[in-house]
Amino acid sequence: MSGRSGPRDLLIAGAGGFARETAQAVAAAVAAGTQHWRLLGHLDDDPALHGRLVDGVTVLGGCELVHELPDAQVVLCVGSPRDHTGRARLVRRLGLPDERWGTVVHPSASVSASSEVGPGCVLLAHCVLTAAVRLGAHVAVMPHTVLTHDDEVADFATLASGVRLAGGVRVGRGAYLGSGALVRESTRVGAWSLVGMGSVVLRDVPPGEVWAGSPARRLRAAGAPERAELVAMTVAAGRAGHGPGTGRGERTEGAAPASHDGAAAEAGRIGPDDRDDQDDQDDQDNDTAGHGPAVRMGRSAR
C-alpha cells in the first residue's frame, strides 16, 4: 500500500465464516494502525444476501461489482473442505490485474522480515511465519497456525486453524490442511490434496488425494473439482515443459489454468460450499477427514 497517503478501499469476495473473520482482521489492523483499509463491503453471488448486513458489514452485490469499483483492492474469502477450488475459479472468472489483489494481515500475526507473502493472502490472528517462509498468492492462513523455517506454500492453499508445519515443508497449489494438522519436516503435501483435521503427516501426500489419521493415511481420491484443477494444472505444466510440483515453483504466470470440469467452469460463482472455509471443518471431521511478485514483510503489513 505504499505510495498512497490515505486508506485503500477494500472489497471482500464472500460473506461466510472466513469472509467475516477477514472483515474482523481488517478492523483490527486498521485500529492498530498496521494496515490502512476502508472496507467497502462484502460481495456474494447469492441475490438473497444483497443489501443485508453481515456482522455490521453490507453485502453490496455480486462479485462482478469489482469491475465497477476499479480503485478498490479485492481479497477472496471463499472455499471449503468440500470444494477448495473456489479462489482459483474466482481468480479466473474476474480476470483482475495483479495490483488489484489485497493482502490482509491481522496485527497479532508474526511475520519475519525474511518471509514473503504473496498477493491476495489472508493471515488471521496469532499465526506465525518464523524464518524464510514463502506464501504464494491467495493463501489462507487461519488463526494460531505456525509455519517454521523454509516452509513454502503454493497459490490457493488453505491452512486451517492450529496447523503446524515443521521446517522445510512444501504445500502444493490448492491443498487444504484441516484444523490442527501436523506435518513433519521436509514433507510434501501435494497439489489439490486434503489433509483431515488433527492428522499427523509423516510422509509425502500425493497430489489430488484425501489423507487423514495419526499417522495420516490415504482415504480416497480428492473430489471432482480438485481433480479437475489437478488435470488442468498438469496439462499446463506439460505445455511449459516441467512437472506440476508441490511448492512455490509450480506457479504459472497470470491466471490459474482453466478447469476441465464443466460444473467448475460454470464457475467462479460463490455458492454455499464456497462461503465457509472455517465453519465447514465439522463436515470435514465427519468425513474423517493474477499474481504479482511476493512481498517481503516484517511483523505487520505495510
Model confidence at 280, in pLDDT bands (50, 70, 90)?
very low
| CA–CA separation, 260 and 229 (whole Å) | 7
Statement: the pTM of the whole predicted model exceeds 0.75: yes
| CA–CA separation, 105 and 140 (whole Å) | 11
Cβ count near 68 (within 10 Å): 9
| CA–CA separation, 237 and 186 (whole Å) | 23
Q: Residue 147 corresponds to which amino acid?
A: L
Q: What per-residue confidence (pLDDT) applies to 157?
A: 99
Q: What per-residue confidence (pLDDT) applies to 296?
A: 54
Mean pLDDT value across the chain: 85
Q: What per-residue confidence (pLDDT) applies to 236?
A: 86
With left for phi above 0 and alpha for psi between -120 and 50, is residue 41 left, alpha or beta? left
| CA–CA separation, 159 and 121 (whole Å) | 11
* Consecutive H or E run containing 135: strand 134-135
Q: What per-residue confidence (pLDDT) applies to 295?
A: 52
Specify whether the CB–CB gap between 155 and 138 falls below 8 A: yes
- Would the pLDDT of 253 be above 50? no
Q: Which of 144, 149, 242, 291 is catalytic?
A: 149
Q: Is 205 or 266 the better-scoring residue by pLDDT? A: 205
The SS3 call for residue 17 is helix
- Would the pLDDT of 34 be above 50? yes
Model confidence at 259, in pLDDT bands (50, 70, 90)?
very low
Compute CA 264 distance to the chain's CA centroid, rounded to the nearest angstrom: 18
Say which residue the cell 490515505 belongs to: 6
What residues are paired with 141 via a beta bridge?
123, 159
Once rounded to an integer, what is the mean pLDDT over residues 236-262?
48
Say which residue the cell 498512497 belongs to: 4
Model confidence at 87, in pLDDT bands (50, 70, 90)?
very high
Would you state the cell numbers that stand for residue 279, as one nine-digit string? Answer: 465453519
Once rounded to an integer, what is the mean pLDDT over residues 79-87?
93
Q: What per-residue confidence (pLDDT) applies to 263?
A: 34
Annotation says 67 is catalytic: no
> What is residue 287's DSSP assignment?
T
- Would the pLDDT of 83 be above 50? yes
| CA–CA separation, 197 and 184 (whole Å) | 15
Q: Is residue 234 classed exposed, middle or buried when 0-12, 13-18 and 19+ CB atoms within 10 A define those classes? A: middle
Q: Is 153 or 4 the better-scoring residue by pLDDT? A: 153
The SS3 call for residue 96 is coil
> 176-201: per-residue pLDDT in tens?
999 999 999 999 999 999 999 999 99
Structural domains for the chain: 8-100 (3.40.50.20)
Once rounded to an integer, what is the mean pLDDT over residues 266-288?
46
Q: What per-residue confidence (pLDDT) applies to 242?
A: 59
The SS3 call for residue 299 is coil
- Would the pLDDT of 40 be above 90? yes
Least confident segment among 2-16, 158-172, 259-273: 259-273
Percent of the chain clearing pLDDT 90 (strictly above): 74
| CA–CA separation, 136 and 147 (whole Å) | 14
Describe the strand order of the beta sheet including 128-129 as a list of residue ranges.
Answer: 110-111, 128-129, 146-147, 164-165, 182-183, 200-201
- Would the pLDDT of 155 be above 70? yes
| CA–CA separation, 181 and 56 (whole Å) | 32
271 is an annotated ligand-binding site residue = no
> 200-239: per-residue pLDDT in tens?
999 999 999 999 999 999 999 999 999 999 999 988 888 7
Say which residue the cell 492462513 belongs to: 141
Least confident segment among 29-33, 70-74, 133-137, 253-257: 253-257
Largest separation between any pair of C-alpha atoms in the chain:
52
